[in-house]
Structure 1
């Protein structure tokens, strides 16, 4: 556990922040940034490690990646709420779509942000007052980008099988192949 100097957010001094992400480079960069802002960060690379650290630290804040090598980050939300009902949790994901955003909020997360999330947006979501909602993003994803992200997510969940992905998305296989061949929209 690393201790950081007092930041500009007084709430951070009260409880540690659990950071769970299996991307080591991203986890280290975000941990460093959060520590500079006054958070005491406890970092884990997966669900099993996060549960062990959470039981010891009883975090007041958590930033959890949705897709981890050993499971789904949403599974941690209930565990963290059981340890500390007032914990503020932000779910991060490389696949931003409405269904998972709704699931994240329903399970108890205060916000759901697409990667690469800006550290300022993460901090705003974590430090929003009780009963308040975080500000909407200044530049939200376009509808085309949201659609593309959803298609990419289903494609990954189908183990990159184009035929299976097309069947599940109820679209023609060739149409899907053309979409997958293009760059992501902005």
Structure 2
């Protein structure tokens, strides 16, 4: 009975069109997230690559989308852009293990409504997808560390240089190989 009430409450938040496209190349995570969001009332379609995500978005533009930023065959931002051109009322969020402010800004400019760092659970994803525009997000309990602030700055300059490693290294007065090692690592906490 509680499960039916939860689904009914979810349906109110989701609306009549519950189509959801999840684009994620981590197959176990994709399956868990798809199952969890189906349990909350979404009609889920899954894709494991940018090409597959774009094809599914063109064939049946979803009302909701959860897109990984870095996929084996390219950037999830291409999927976000495709969905936005096909359907301007969609609510999309970007998931990534390589979160930074510059790509978050780009994702929002392309039409994403939120940007979540991995590991994000189904509750966080559901809340981000169903949050209304006037709802405020609570500020983080812990501010960014000095290492994270440095990493964010490097990422911002890297994006400004259109992902040109040599130009970014020159602007940051840093050796190119040092910069490449920093860019290859995950974001510090």
TM-score (norm 1): 0.74
Q: What is the rounded CA distance, in whole Å, between the counterparts of 2:45 and 2:71 in structure 1?
A: 17
Assess, with a 3 A threshold, how the Cα gap between structure 1 residues 178 and 65 changes in structure 2: closer, same or farther.
closer
- Partners of 1:95 and 1:152 within 8 A in 2: no
CA-CA distance at 1:23 after TM superposition: 1.2
CA-CA distance at 1:133 after TM superposition: 4.8
Superposed, 1:1-186 pairs within 5 Å as: 6=7, 8-9=9-10, 10-12=12-14, 14-139=17-142, 141-148=144-151, 169-171=172-174, 185-186=188-189
Aligned-pair Cα RMSD in Å: 3.5
Q: What number of residue pairs does the alignment pair up?
A: 176
Assess, with a 3 A threshold, how the Cα gap between structure 1 residues 84 and 73 changes in structure 2: closer, same or farther.
same
Structure 1, unaligned stretches of length 5 or more? none
CA-CA distance at 1:179 after TM superposition: 7.6
Structure 2, unaligned stretches of length 5 or more? 1-5
- Partners of 2:98 and 2:187 within 8 A in 1: no
